Amino acid sequence: MEPKTTSALLYLDAITVSFDGFKALNELSFVIEPREMRAIIGPNGAGKTTMMDVITGKTRPDSGDVFFEQGSYDLSKLDETEIAELGIGRKFQKPTVFDMHSVEDNLLLALKNDRSVRATLIWENTSSQQNRIHEILDTIRLKNMRSRVAGSLSHGQKQWLEIGMLLAQGPKLLLVDEPVAGMTDAETLQTAELLKDINRDRTVIVVEHDMAFVRELGVKVTCLHEGSVLAEGTIDQVSTNDRVVEVYLGR
């Protein structure tokens, strides 16, 4: 692994990914500093999901570098499991929780722990694990749902459960894909609070279409278009940028 000197937690340089000639990412570059929260916006097909896929190892970039933790890990050489073990957690666009498991078991599975076959076979429930699950249930406001089957939760509750699972993993970096899609206004506000809460001790990347929500977060915004960065800055700077208005926000 080639050493890279950068202070950034996540460092993307000239990433290109193409599917059958179509360039989903085109020389995409940006950096995320530790403890930062970053909002990513952009029209459909701008490459937001592909960018997440590259960071989490689901898709391998055709060219370019992805480094994690001040350049000490080259993510393009690791697979999903290894990347998850490094401390990068991802919440998918569509909430994917384990429908057949209870809320509690969902968190248990996500809890930072030995993930080996042997460890799970001889696993025993401990009180420290229980306490941690309680804490998270509190944070995500699902305390009363703990033994409900996750499949029976409402859409918003599933989103929170998934954020809870991310927290249980204790990751350094959270990738959150459209957390408020399909939520009511009240739920949206609560989710923004939740994310700000989490951001106190973790780095967060949020991909979102909802501009009110992004404004609520009040963080630095990156706008993607056709697989590369179109504009970067505060929400006010970005939303008044002529090209952003043209391709994304509309007249």
Query: Binding residues for another protein, per CB under 8 A?
Result: 19-20, 22, 24, 56, 58, 80-81, 84-85, 89-90, 92, 96-101, 105, 108-110, 115-117, 120-124, 141-145, 154, 156-157, 160, 165, 169, 184, 186-187, 190
**Burial class of 1 by CB neighbour count within 10 A (0 to 12, 13 to 18, 19+):** exposed
Q: Which is nearer to another protein, 111 or 249 (CB)?
A: 111
Q: Which is nearer to another protein, 142 or 235 (CB)?
A: 142
- Per DSSP, 44 falls in state T
3-class DSSP state for residue 231? strand
Least CB distance to another protein at residue 157 (A): 7
Least CB distance to another protein at residue 238 (A): 27
Decide: 160 and 106 in contact? Cβ < 8 Å. no
Least CB distance to another protein at residue 199 (A): 20
Contacts of 221 (CB under 8 A, 6+ apart): 38, 39, 40, 41, 214, 232, 233, 234, 235, 238
Q: Which is nearer to another protein, 29 or 96 (CB)?
A: 96
Least CB distance to another protein at residue 151 (A): 9
Q: Which is nearer to another protein, 184 or 237 (CB)?
A: 184
β-strand 173-177 against 203-207: which pairing, if any? parallel
Least CB distance to another protein at residue 115 (A): 5
* Residue given tokens 């990412």 in the structure block: 25
CA distance 225 to 42: 6
CA atoms within 13 A on the CB side of 213: 28
Q: Which is nearer to another protein, 43 or 233 (CB)?
A: 43
Least CB distance to another protein at residue 160 (A): 8
**Burial class of 20 by CB neighbour count within 10 A (0 to 12, 13 to 18, 19+):** exposed
CA distance 227 to 221: 16
Q: Which is nearer to another protein, 33 or 185 (CB)?
A: 185
